[in-house]
Amino acid sequence: MIVKLALSGCLLVGGLGLVAPLAGAVHGTDTCMATPTDCQGAPVSTEGGEIPGADTAVARALRLVGDNGYYQLCARLAANIWGRPRAGYFSAAEQWQQMVATGNAHSGDRQPPVGALVFWETGGPYGHVAVYVGNGQIVSNDINDRVPGEGGVYLVDFELIESKWNAGYLGWAPPIYSTT
């Protein structure tokens, strides 16, 4: 029997969806990326091409590489990388739409700053999100799983999501999460 779950899902494929526990390296607070006004939908400044806190997030992302338990939970993985227990969105697609609606999306921009959330359309309702860590690489889940449902965390080339999953790149956004 095949069970399909979409818990903050990203790429919906056959298999058993496993709920990932919060990564042990995550020690987040219930705040937004920069200031509470950023949570209310105002565009977030990334002047100078830098996202505040990116160094800490990238270090956390690299520590998570090799972990498992993020099957179809890309939005949760990205949130955990940014010190958040959950994304606060049903899917990566919903998160991207919120970034577009609030003026925080950088549609089609293939030059994200380090720490940015990068989004793809996958042909299904959930989409995919990963975290850009620099040098043309992202930390993403599921992309190199050898066993369906493994939910591995991988450091891969930015373009692998497009070439392996035939996904369409949407753009990037700063990591903005609701405080509720």
- The model's pTM is 0.76
User: Tell me: the pLDDT tens digits for 87-124?
Assistant: 999 999 999 999 999 999 999 999 999 999 999 999 99
Q: Which domains are assigned to the chain?
A: 56-173 (3.90.1720.10)
Q: How far is CA 142 from CA 26, 42, 77, 170, in A?
A: 20, 32, 11, 19
Predicted pLDDT at 179: 61
Spatial separation of the C-alpha atoms in residues 141 and 163, rounded to whole Å: 15
Residues paired with residue 117 on neighbouring β-strands, in sequence order: 131, 173
Predicted pLDDT at 7: 35
Strands (E), 16-136: 106-107, 117-121, 128-134
Walking along the chain (180 residues) 10 residues at a time, the average pLDDT comes out as: 34 31 31 35 51 97 97 97 94 97 97 98 96 98 95 97 97 86
